[in-house]
Structure 1
């Protein structure tokens, strides 16, 4: 059985998908009431599962009439995706950011779930057992090389 965080995440992704502009505004308390959970559970889901690395921009306005706005960032659909990815990765990348890039590629169906799992495994700090900043530099080079191989298939 899925936990409440998974259910809330799937609900938010569903309404985002149905939104014509890939943006939603929600009231934290209303959503907490709907799922019969505490408002901090909504905060947890949004802060851990709707991050910039995973392709989302989150804005919030506090106070009366406040809201949380979640917008899905879409990857470029043309050949500039290579440029976008390499600019996002840069000369070094930490594990969390690398996993976010992989997540976006999997969500956009640019890489298969199997490829995404292989990429995530290769990006793990346990696999790249080097000291910083060398680890992040090697991770960036490795991720770029693997993506070139996948994207030119």
Structure 2
């Protein structure tokens, strides 16, 4: 049986707290104390697991009364969120980050499995093989942004 990393456990915990709510507010130090980890571990989990590519918006307020707000967003119902996602893609995107976006669209039931699989094939390293990783990442970004814009207009 595969043993879970502390990051996986913290992610599951935060998602469990989020549950059916649209957002949660947490204190980084409280979560760190709960898991007996340094606060930067909580930052790592939030920065890597709760991104716009995964369907979350994160806001934070520093200081004594500070908090971290994690909000689950519907990617295609909110034009601002979709624009943020496209902006996050920028001029280039890795295959892994593109996969995360497609996975989120599938998890949100905005794509069928077949549509998601076709998107992944179109965005894959094997398909875009032009013997230059930078060119592939730029081409992948252009294709993904075009697909997202098409989804937006059909929704």
Tell me if both proteins adopt one fold, taking TM over 0.5 as the criterion.
Answer: yes
Q: Who is 1:30 aligned against? A: 30
Query: Number of paired residues?
Result: 143
The answer on whether the counterparts of 1:55 and 1:100 sit within 8 Å (CA) in structure 2 is no
1:93 and 1:59 mapped to 2: Cα distance? 25
Report the alpha carbon displacement of residue 64 of structure 1 after superposing the two structures with TM: 0.8
Gap runs ≥5 in structure 2: none
Report the alpha carbon displacement of residue 134 of structure 1 after superposing the two structures with TM: 5.7
Partner deviation per Cα, 1:28-57 (whole Å, 9 max, x = no partner): 010011122221111110010111122111
The answer on whether the counterparts of 2:23 and 2:70 sit within 8 Å (CA) in structure 1 is yes
- Three-state SS of the structure 1 residue aligned to 2:69 is strand
Q: Who is 1:109 aligned against? A: 109
Are 1:94 and 2:93 an aligned pair? yes
Q: Who is 1:14 aligned against? A: 16
- Three-state SS of the structure 2 residue aligned to 1:53 is helix
Q: Who is 2:56 aligned against? A: 56
Report the alpha carbon displacement of residue 137 of structure 1 after superposing the two structures with TM: 2.5
The answer on whether the counterparts of 2:56 and 2:73 sit within 8 Å (CA) in structure 1 is yes
Structure 1's 126 and 37: CA in aligned 2 closer, same or farther, altered over 3 A?
farther
Report the alpha carbon displacement of residue 7 of structure 1 after superposing the two structures with TM: 1.2
Q: Who is 1:128 aligned against? A: 128
TM-score norm. by structure 2 comes to 0.68
TM-score norm. by structure 1 comes to 0.68
Q: Who is 1:137 aligned against? A: 139
Structure 1's 136 and 57: CA in aligned 2 closer, same or farther, altered over 3 A?
same
Give me the CA root mean square deviation: 3.7
Partner deviation per Cα, 1:90-141 (whole Å, 9 max, x = no partner): 9965225522421221221334668656644652446522233465335643
Structure 1's 102 and 60: CA in aligned 2 closer, same or farther, altered over 3 A?
same
Are 1:70 and 2:70 an aligned pair? yes
Judging by fraction of residues, say which structure has more helix. 2
The answer on whether the counterparts of 1:92 and 1:138 sit within 8 Å (CA) in structure 2 is no
- Three-state SS of the structure 1 residue aligned to 2:53 is coil
